Amino acid sequence: MPSPQPPASPKSRLKDGAEQFWQRVSEGLEVNQLWSQFEKDARSSYRLYSAGLAERAEGQTGAHRGWAVAKALFWAIIEKLSPARRVLLLLALVLLLFPSGGFSYTNKSGQVESFQFDLHVWGGLLMFVVLLLELADRVVMKRDLEIAKDIQAWLLPGAPLRIPGYEIAYATRPANTVAGDYYDVILRPGPASSDDRVLFVVADVAGKSIPAAMLMATFQASLRTLSSSRAPLAELAAGLNRYACSNSQGGVRFTTAFLAELDPSTGDIAYVNAGHNAPILRKGHGAVERLEAGGIPMGILDEASYQLGATQLSPGDCLVVFTDGVVEAINAQGDEYGEAEVIQLVSRRAASTPAQLLRGLLEELDVFVGNTPQHDDMTCLLLKRG
C-alpha cells in the first residue's frame, strides 16, 4: 500500500498557483514568443493610428512639426472612441494629470478637520472603465469575426481535387481574421470523360477584412453558378465581370482574377487574366512564361471584354498563381519580397511536389517578414504535371 503523500506546504501551493495563473494568462507561450507577439501588435497599432500623420504635419518644422504630429496622433486615437467614451477618457486624463488635493475646516469644537483625496485613483478607475467597455466590444467583434472566418473556410475548397497525372496545392493567409482573397478548383464535366475540364481560379478583392470578405463570398457564389454551365471561359469571365460590377460600388470594390481551364488529357490551358498578377509557368527545361492575356479587373467596366490566352502544361512544368500579398510582403526595413524570389524558389526546388514548394514558400515568407504586420492577404495555388 503506497504511503500517503504529505500535504503541500503553503509556499509550494503558492508557487503552483502562480504557475497555473501564468500558464492561463500566457497560454503556454514563452517570454520571447510573447514579446514577438507584442512587437507585432504594437507595429500594427502604430500603423493604424499613424496613418496620415505625415500629411497633417507637412510644411511644419521643428517644435511646430512635433506639436502638429502630437495633436494629429491625439485626435487619431480619440476619434476611434464613441463620444461618451471620449468624455470619460478625457476626464480620466485630467484626473491623472492633476495633483492629489484636499481641504480642511474647523468644526464646532474648534478642532481642525482635514480631508485628503487622491484624484489619480479616480482617474485610474475611469481609465479602467473605458478599457472594460472597449474590451467588451472587442470580444463581441472577435466572436463575430471567428464565425465569419469559419464560414469563409467553408466556402474555400478542402482537399485538393485528384487529377491523374497532376498535383495541386494551395493555401491562403489573411492579413486580418477574414480575407478578400479567393481560390477554387472546380471540375466541369463534359458529355464524355475525355471532355472534362478543370477550372482553376485565384481572385483578390480590393480592400481588406469584412467588406472584402463579403464581396469574396459574392464572387464565389457567382462563379459556382456560372461555371455549372458549359459556357466558354471568355463568356464565364464576362459574366463574372457583370456580377462584380453590380456589387463594386462604382468600381471602388473591383476584383482582380485569374481563371484557367485545364484539359487534363492534353495539358492544354485556356486562361483569362483580369488585371491579376501574372502567374508564373516554370517549364521543365527551366524557361519561365508569364500568363498575361486577359483584360482589366472585374467590377470596373460593365461591358469589358476579355482576351483568351493559351498555353500548355507539359510533364515537369509547374504553374504558380499568387495574389499581390505574396510578392508585396514587406519586412522591417520596408523591402518587398518580390516576384524574382518566387521564381528563384521554384527553380531551386523544381523537383519538389507542389505541396513541398508551397511549404517552402511560406517558410521563406515567414523568415523574410519576421514580426512585420502585413497589409494584404497572401494566397498561392500551384499546379504541376507529373
The per-residue pLDDT for range 277-295, each reduced to its tens digit, is 999 999 988 899 999 999 9
Assessment of whether the complete model's pTM goes beyond 0.95: no
Q: Indicate the DSSP class of residue 194.
A: G
Rounded distance, CA 83 to CA 75, Å? 12
Q: How far is CA 129 from CA 58, 77, 92, 329, 383, in A?
A: 36, 17, 10, 38, 54
Give the C-alpha separation, 307 to 271, whole Å. Answer: 9
Q: What is the model's pLDDT at position 168?
A: 94
Cα–chain center distance at 8: 48
Question: How far is the C-alpha of 6 from the C-alpha of 139, rounded, in Å?
Answer: 43
All structural domains of the chain with their residue ranges: 19-80, 158-385
**Distance of alpha carbon 204 from alpha carbon 374, whole angstroms:** 15
Residues of the chain below pLDDT 70: 1-8, 48-60, 100-108, 110, 112-117, 193, 251
CA dist., res. 276 & res. 381, Å (int): 14
Q: Measured between alpha carbons, how far apart are the two ends of the chain, in Å?
A: 65
Spatial distance between the Cα atoms of 257 and 7, rounded to a whole number of angstroms: 67
d(CA 352, CA 363): 15
pLDDT per position as a tens digit, 88-111: 988 888 888 877 665 566 666 767
Answer yes or no: are the C-beta atoms of 180 and 215 closer than 8 Å.
yes
> What single-letter DSSP state applies at residue 247?
T
> Angle at which helices 339-348 and 354-369 pack, to 10 degrees?
140
> Taking the C-alpha atoms of 230, 235, 241 and 244 in order, what is their torsion angle to the nearest 10 degrees?
-20
**101 has which bridge partners?**
117
Structure confidence at residue 58 (pLDDT): 67
- Based on its alpha-carbon atoms, the radius of gyration of the chain, rounded to whole angstroms, reads 29
DSSP 2: P
Which pLDDT does position 19 carry in this prediction? 81
CA 36 to chain CA centroid, Å, is 18
| CATH architecture of structural domain 158-385 | 4-Layer Sandwich (3.60)
The answer to whether residues 361 and 29 touch, using CB atoms and an 8 Å cutoff, is no
Q: What is the pLDDT of residue 198?
A: 93
